Amino acid sequence: MAQKKIEALLKKLPSTPGVYKMRDGEGRILYVGKAKNLNKRVRSYFRKTVKAVRTEKMLEHVEDLEWIEVGSDLEALMLETNLIKEFRPKYNVLMKDDKNYVYIKITKNEDYPRIEIVRKVLKDGARYFGPKTAAHTVKKTLGLLQKLFMYRSCDLGIDWNDGAAKVTRKTIAYPCLDYHIKRCAAPCIGKISPEDYGRSIERIEYFLEGKSGEIEKSLEDQMNACVAKKEYEKAALVRDKLLSLRQLFDSKQIVTSPDLENMDILGFVLEGGKAYLNLFMLRNGKLIDQENFIADAGGYEAGEEDQAQEVVEAFLYQYYEKATQIPPQILIPVEFEEADFFMTWAGNQAGRRVKLITPERGKKHKLVELAEKNARSFLKQNKARWESMAPSDQEALEELSHALSLPKPPKRMECYDNSHLGGTDTVASMVVFENGVAKKSDYRKFKLQTLVDGEIDDFKAMSEILLRRLSHLQPVPAGIQIRKAAKTNVPGIQTLLKEWRNTEEIEGNLNEYQVVLKDKKVLGFLRLLPGKDATYLIKALYVTPKAREQRLGRALIFCALEKTKAKRIYVTCVSEMEPFYEKLGFEKIKTFPSEFSEQLLPLLMAYDPSKHHDASFETKPDLIVIDGGKGQLSAALKSRDALGLTIPMIGLAKREEDVFIPGASFPLLIPKDSKASYLLQRIRDEAHRFAITFQKDSRKKHITHSVLDEIPGIGKATKMKLLKKFGSLEKIKQTSAEELTELVGKRLAEKISLFFR
């Protein structure tokens, strides 16, 4: 049956650029790919030719095909990238979580630029170097550069006016310790001019670019100039910098090229379903950096490196999408089919020609071999670390599975905890362990919505967060039906619709209404009007207060999306309803589609389904651990059972590390010194740490929050300026618009006056 279906679909494939998805019998996406020619590319998988073991394994499970036609190869690439990130298919090559990548940022819009370590590249005019995988190495490098060039590490705002320095943003007492230990030239007190400071920053940029010749010449010129002026002490200091830099550059040169070429060299090895990659970076013929990466190998196994072209292709796109520099040459170990397209794409990114080279002999071939050797070394290092941990983790999972009578070891475990300070700033945490190891990319935070400020109710909090989390797996609670009003023979629907609007007739027709039913009783309804391009407008949405506690409003929205395939849902409402719609996932917008623009209410909001996909929430856990005893476990079970789910769940009490299971009066006897018990304690402690950290952060924001933060256009700097000038919020309220104008300008002054009126 599946074979006939595939054959029928293959006949319908267009010969245009696009993206294709391969699914298994349960509808799961196994693989996402792009193609210049969908017909040619997809058919190639099903020809009777010798294929990689990984491809054969994948095709055994493929029972359905989908494709999306696009206008160009570039659109196909962008769509493929987004779909892979969203669905994380089993047979796609995917770089490990990149949240740990860092960049070196050098600001460019200040008289005295700052150098920072950041995790995102912004379009703010600054210069970035990276990505770097080892933040500790970057810190060490910057520490050395600060010793040599004495750049500032503070975030003071410093302007240079009329030959003097002026601090405009005072965040610390200055000059700070760095000045006294000769780590900073103290621009904050005018000890160095912007020109001299700029030369130091320029040399740091040379260093990060690997331009040792330029930086050495610059320092030699400075040293000779000092000697000519008979400033021998300054000349000696410059000489010491020069010697230190030469020593540093020489120590890094395990690889050199006499041709003074700029290139990156990639090597990789496969093992255990993972790809271990090494990237050498040569600039001006010298090795300036080396980075190591791990990727899910998409089903490729050890020994298949020669066939794993997709590993190379996927790495190149995923790495150079984030890279701040792309060299003119990239050496790779194996060729891939659409290399020409990558070179065009990379050339557009770099602003010049970029060549991919797969050398078969000579020095460049030896460089690729050296990169592969380092990738293998990286694998061995990781394997050694893993082997020291993995057996105990696996044994712990086996022990836990046996103790809890689970059908299999719990590969994915989730643990929940909540935290508050006297009933204020109540938050909760969800941490995830996969195969006994923390998976921090899947951690999630919750701000409690059902507790009022000052209310302390751990059971209610646990019930809420489990309901919110598990509703991503099963949005409609057990026993609830959502049906079209016109197809429902339940008495009272028409009466309720009339009463709700206080009219004699139903607004619109019954076909436009979805109703929520339980035991033939109406708990709510939703009316949607269609617009253009798969958009809809909510004309009515109502659920009873009790139904709101079960998140039936969200269930209605979810079902509407499923049935209509809506790309966006709009609503216009009064401001009192803003919190209600925000909880459902709606966001405020400024403009409304023209077809919905009649009789608008004050607040315009929209729900965008693309913003509500969450890979972590959409993954089903094998075991849920509740931080707490029987009470917390019971509250969590109510939420699970209300949704009709059967996920195993236990409670872990802190005092005696007692494990409670549903339906048992007494705790389960798990030896306190067993691997299973230690694993439970680790995940519980991590949930507690994560919740406490989030609670502290929330409290800080709460403490520093001001009514001024609610005025559009007022940022942190303006708020501090107002408070410093007038001393208190009350005095700001009493200040005239004219006086405020002198400080913040006419437009902002009018906003402040209007807000307080």
**Same domain membership, residue 149 and residue 196:** yes
pLDDT at residue 392, as a whole number: 58
Higher pLDDT, 504 or 282: 282
| Three-state secondary-structure class, residue 509 | coil
Whether the per-residue pLDDT at 565 is higher than 80: the answer is yes
The domain that holds 589 is classified in CATH as 3.40.630.30
C-alpha span between 398 and 288 (Å, rounded) = 46
Segment 45-65 shows an average pLDDT of: 81
**Same domain membership, residue 630 and residue 670:** yes
C-alpha span between 361 and 359 (Å, rounded) = 6
Whether the per-residue pLDDT at 121 is higher than 90: the answer is no
Residue 702 inside a domain? The answer is no
Segment 700-715 shows an average pLDDT of: 64
pLDDT at residue 654, as a whole number: 66
pLDDT at residue 656, as a whole number: 63
Whether the per-residue pLDDT at 511 is higher than 80: the answer is no
**Same domain membership, residue 67 and residue 115:** no
Q: Which of 22, 57, 92 is the last residue of a domain?
A: 92
**Same domain membership, residue 236 and residue 110:** yes
pLDDT band of 388, cuts 50, 70, 90: low
pLDDT at residue 730, as a whole number: 74
Segment 70-75 shows an average pLDDT of: 84
**Same domain membership, residue 35 and residue 7:** yes
Is-contact 589 597, C-beta < 8 A? no
pLDDT at residue 249, as a whole number: 57
Whether the per-residue pLDDT at 413 is higher than 90: the answer is yes
Segment 563-574 shows an average pLDDT of: 86
pLDDT band of 77, cuts 50, 70, 90: confident
Q: Output the average pLDDT for the chain.
A: 83
Mean pLDDT is lowest, of 234-248, 393-407, 591-605, for: 234-248
Segment 97-112 shows an average pLDDT of: 82
pLDDT at residue 411, as a whole number: 93
Cβ-based burial of 547 (10 A; exposed 0-12, middle 13-18, buried ≥19): buried
**Same domain membership, residue 177 and residue 314:** no
**Same domain membership, residue 716 and residue 674:** no
Backbone dihedral region of 110: left (phi > 0), alpha (psi from -120 to 50 degrees) or beta?
Answer: beta
**Same domain membership, residue 580 and residue 486:** yes
**Same domain membership, residue 248 and residue 114:** yes
pLDDT band of 466, cuts 50, 70, 90: very high
Q: Among residues 209, 290, 217, 211, which one has the least CA distance to residue 255?
A: 290
In this structure, which amino acid lies at residue 88?
A: R
**Angle at CA 506, nearest 5°, toward 505 and 507?**
115
Q: Which of 642, 658, 689 is the last residue of a domain?
A: 689
**Same domain membership, residue 655 and residue 603:** no
Residue 399 inside a domain? The answer is no
pLDDT at residue 640, as a whole number: 92
pLDDT at residue 343, as a whole number: 93
Residue 751 inside a domain? The answer is yes
Whether the per-residue pLDDT at 254 is higher than 50: the answer is no
Segment 422-430 shows an average pLDDT of: 79
Whether the per-residue pLDDT at 547 is higher than 80: the answer is no
C-alpha span between 368 and 331 (Å, rounded) = 7
The domain that holds 68 is classified in CATH as 3.40.1440.10
**Same domain membership, residue 567 and residue 511:** yes
Whether the per-residue pLDDT at 623 is higher than 90: the answer is yes
pLDDT at residue 390, as a whole number: 47
Whether the per-residue pLDDT at 157 is higher than 70: the answer is yes
Per-position DSSP letters for 45-96, written without gaps between them: HTSSS---HHHHHHHHH--EEEEEE-SSHHHHHHHHHHHHHHH--TTS-EE-
Residue 498, domain extent: 481-612
Mean pLDDT is lowest, of 218-227, 626-635, 711-720, for: 711-720
Segment 551-563 shows an average pLDDT of: 78
Whether the per-residue pLDDT at 667 is higher than 50: the answer is yes
Whether the per-residue pLDDT at 258 is higher than 60: the answer is no
Is-contact 80 97, C-beta < 8 A? no
CB neighbours of residue 642 within 10 Å: 21
Q: How many domains does the chain have?
A: 6
Q: Which of 218, 252, 286 is the last residue of a domain?
A: 252
Cis peptide before 621 (omega within 30 of 0): no
**Same domain membership, residue 286 and residue 194:** no
Residue 143 inside a domain? The answer is yes
Residue 69 inside a domain? The answer is yes
Residue 398 inside a domain? The answer is no
C-alpha span between 268 and 3 (Å, rounded) = 36
Residue 315 inside a domain? The answer is yes
pLDDT at residue 250, as a whole number: 53
pLDDT band of 635, cuts 50, 70, 90: very high
The domain that holds 331 is classified in CATH as 3.30.420
Backbone dihedral region of 661: left (phi > 0), alpha (psi from -120 to 50 degrees) or beta?
Answer: beta
Whether the per-residue pLDDT at 498 is higher than 60: the answer is yes
* Rounded percentage of the chain residues whose pLDDT exceeds 70: 89
What contacts 363, CB < 8 A, 6 or more positions away? 257
Whether the per-residue pLDDT at 586 is higher than 60: the answer is yes
* Rounded percentage of the chain residues whose pLDDT exceeds 90: 22
Residue 617 inside a domain? The answer is no
